[in-house]
Amino acid sequence: MNVTEIPVTCLVDSRDKLGEGCFWDADAQCLWWLDAIVPSAIHRLHVASGAYRRWQFDEMVTAMAKRTDGTLVVGSFKGVNFFNPETGALTPWTRLDSDKPFNRGNDGACDARGRLWFGTMMNNVGTYGADMPITASTGTLYRIDVDGTATAMEQNIGVSNGPCWSPDNKTFYFTDSMAQIIWAYDFDLDAGTISNRRVLNGTKDYGYPDGATVDRDGFIWSARWEGSCVLRIDPKGRIDRIIPMPAKRVTNVCFGGSKLDTLYVTTSRLHVPEDHLRRHSLQGGLFCFDPGVSGFEKHAFAG
3-state secondary structure the chain: CEECCCCCEEEECCCCCCEEEEEEECCCCEEEEEECCCCEEEEEEECCCCCEEEEEECCCEEEEEEECCCCEEEEECCEEEEEECCCCEEEEEEECCCCCCCEEEEEEEECCCCCEEEEEEECCECHHHCECCCCCCCEEEEEECCCCCEEEEEEEECCEEEEEECCCCCEEEEEECCCCEEEEEEEECCCCEEEEEEEEECCCCCCEEEEEEEECCCCEEEEEECCCEEEEECCCCCEEEEEECCCCEEEEEEEECCCCCEEEEEEECCCCCHHHHHHCCCCCCEEEECCCCCECCCCCECC
Contacts (Cβ under 8 Å, ≥6 apart) of 15: 269, 284, 285
Q: Active site includes 210? A: yes
Catalytic residue among 16, 35, 210, 215: 210
Residue 131 has, within 13 A of its CA and on its CB side, a CA count of 5
Question: Which residues have a catalytic role annotated?
Answer: 210
